[in-house]
Amino acid sequence: MATNTFTFTEALLGKYFVNRAKCDLAVVVTAGVPTIIGTETPKIIIEKGLAGSQVLLTQTAVDDLLGVAGDVDVSTAFGSTAMAANNTLGFVLACDGQVESVDLVRTYIGGGSSLGLAEQASSLPDSAFSGPELLVTPAGNLVGRMDYTNLTAVATNTLVTIEMYLRLK
């Protein structure tokens, strides 16, 4: 009887783990306003969906955060069709050009089961979407958004965890 065995050499394991990093964003949404939880706040702009009328996620603010003009097309990634009011959350995370790719993004609401699982997005068009989407910009920063029914409509605290597995340059 044949048995299946796997042999992982140091070279294979090294290739898999080298330059891989896990990054978690813990967010609390209170009265529709998302806030990063933690003692150190990353360089991030995060905002609930406002049907394209974003106040924080503007082209000027994102360009200033990243230090790169036009690295993110805000009107597309966070446009009126994509960023439905009450159901969406969007963010731009400055990574100083360190991110090469995304292996996986997973989201949780209220500490429960995983609500969404996705690989790296190739684009973030101004269209309806579901679950999490995460894009690496040309300059190595992260742009993400997620959709969950009434995510930002609730009046009480809602915990959102965004778990990202990244490949660094």
The pLDDT assigned to 146 comes to: 93
Tens digit of pLDDT for each residue in 32-82? 899 999 888 899 999 999 887 889 999 999 999 999 999 999 999 999 999
What is residue 41's predicted lDDT score, i.e. its pLDDT? Answer: 84
Burial annotation 66-102 (CB, 10 A radius, 16+ → b, else e): bebeebbbbeebbbeebbbebbbbbbbbbbebebeeb
pLDDT score of 6: 57
Residue 115, classed as helix, strand or coil, is strand
Residue 43: CB atoms within 10 A of its CB come to 13
Q: What is the DSSP letter of 13?
A: H
Q: Which residue has the tokens 């796997």?
A: 6
Closest CA to 93 of 124, 39, 57: 57
User: For position 60, what pLDDT does the model report?
Assistant: 97
